[in-house]
Amino acid sequence: MRFLLIIVCFLIAAPSMAHQLKSSVTTVLFNQRTHNIELMHRFYLHDTEHAVGSLFKGKVDIINNKRDQKRFAKYVESHVALQTLAGEPLTLNYVGAQVDGKFFWVYQEATIPDEIEGVRMSNGALRDLWPAQVNMVNVEGRGQVKTLNFSQDDTWLEARFETN
SS3 of the chain: the string is CHHHHHHHHHHHHHHHHCCCCCEEEEEEEEECCCCEEEEEEEEEHHHHHHHHHHHCCCCCCCCCCHHHHHHHHHHHHHCEEEEECCCCEECCEEEEEEEECCEEEEEEEEECCCCCCEEEEEECCCCCCCCCCEEEEEEECCCCCEEEEECCCCCCEEEECCCC
Confidence category of residue 15, pLDDT binned at 50, 70, 90: very low
Q: What is the pTM of this model?
A: 0.86
Per-residue pLDDT at 20: 61
Q: Does position 41 have pLDDT exceeding 70, yes or no?
A: yes
Confidence category of residue 87, pLDDT binned at 50, 70, 90: very high
157-160 and 103-111 as β-strands: parallel, antiparallel, unpaired? unpaired
Q: Does position 3 have pLDDT exceeding 90, yes or no?
A: no
Over pLDDT 90: what percentage of the chain?
Answer: 83
